[in-house]
Structure 1
Amino acid sequence: MAQAAARLRAAGVPDPARDARLLLAHAASVDAARVTLIAPEEIAPEIEERFEQLVALRAVRVPVSQLVGERAFYGRGFKVSRDVLDPRPETETLIEAALAAPFDRVLDLGIGSGCILVSLLAERTGAQGVGVDLSEAACLQASANAVLHGVADRADIRQSDWFGAVEGRFDLIVSNPPYLARAEMADVAPELALHEPAMALTDGADGLSVYRLIAARAQGYLSAGGRVLVEIGHLQGPDVRAIFAAEGWADIAVLPDLDGRDRVVQAQNPA
């Protein structure tokens, strides 16, 4: 494990000791908290071989979540792959804000792994949801997570270009859209640039185009007084607030994540 950590450190991996421990636990099929308990034992050759393969992949910056096939989010484990954006702790800010008010029908634009929609439906057992994504692979991944967490009968997951295949009205619309500007992609970590879908990271323009689309069209899919919640980049609060204000939304607020950075814009349908 020490040798693996040194190798990962040399490859520029941010937290090499933690990753080495997680990968050894996965290779040995034990909980990460129990790795120290097996430390005195002789490691079986097949475990050593699996561990070596995992470390080699992590050294070329494949995310740990893709190597172990799962990422924790809002108290649940979500299956992930290179076809979807890795669920991240800051997105839990959006979940908390969504759960702060009642809703019966929720729409998730750009569902990805399904972590947002599935978490909301799991927390609100009487709610129904629709999730859309342009990526068929993402829809399949989200559907698998809906089954895993027992909400598949309340989750309608469709392949769609944003509102293209959406019908009806919702109490809540949520989205974690691609918000990196094209110019920012040159500076993102290798884990994102090389191993996560570019279409989930950037709009290929200024990083604000999807907010303009949602602000312009979402009122037509919301019930009176319904809410929209969108995750944003931590420097985008003023711009996204202005986009929603220009479209006549009410009660626009920029909400911080646990680190105090702008993370979610919330707005209400004025109708």
Structure 2
Amino acid sequence: MSDSDNMDQEQAFRAGFIAIVGRPNVGKSTLLNRLIGQKISIVSRKAQTTRHRITGIRTEADAQYVFVDTPGFQTRYKSALNEAMNRGVTTTLADVDVVLFVIEANKFDARDVEVMRLLPKKRPVILVVNKADLLKDKNQLLPFIQGMASQFAFHAIVPVSAKKIMKVDVLLDAIKPLLPIGTPMYEEDQVTDRSERFLATELIREKIFRLVGDELPYSTTVEIEKYEEEGGLRRIFAAILVDRDAQKAILIGKNGEKLKEISTQARTDMEKMFDCKIYLEVWVKVKSGWADDSRLVRQFGYE
């Protein structure tokens, strides 16, 4: 290849899909939000907050990054919901150009090993060592990285702090040359391929996890029953589904205060995200065993 061909290769526009994978609670959703510079994926301290593949798009002058945030690969619990989410992870890995395998600094256990076994051998994999800022002894980081380098043929290893936006630019620079030469797949100002309706359900779920996450089991979901657009106003009517009446009482709270707090915080975030006024009405329904019902899991979009 001539020098001019090499220069053309370097200057060509690049666009491709990048999967973000890892066990639960390593910071994948926070990383996605930082990489695209805007919140589109919900975040909480509770494992398995992310249940769907969320696509985040970052467009620069010479590249378009299409990130796919996946649910944390689950090995501890078995249900129709968890099986559907795990299938989402493996399907995504087969369809992307680059893989980001996210782990925590100085933490690598059997759950990470399970995810590493899924990593493709024929696609570049970048190891993202997240939460590097939390290490009290920074001298521990290099030996940890050297140990990880012997575990798999990573194309690169990049320590970051998604929460503090540390070294995220270095990660983007590592990804860019691995993307195929091509044309943009999405509009320049588009940051996700998900609908407002979908994002509304996610924002309500985030508030549930943050405000009552420790009191409720994992099997809670949100269903938008009506979504209306009237110029600069969105009217959204949503049902929170739980397994039992006792869980319904927890979500509603004394005199309805907990449900009101969930609704108010979700509405505030929706108005910021959608840049319009929101009328939001939320109620709670009991639908026992939905997370173990394959038909309902598909109905709620977890396939």
> Given the two structures, how large is their TM-score scaled by the length of structure 1?
0.29
Which structure has the highest helix share of the two? Answer: 1
Q: Which has the higher contact order (CA 8 A, sep 6+)?
A: 2
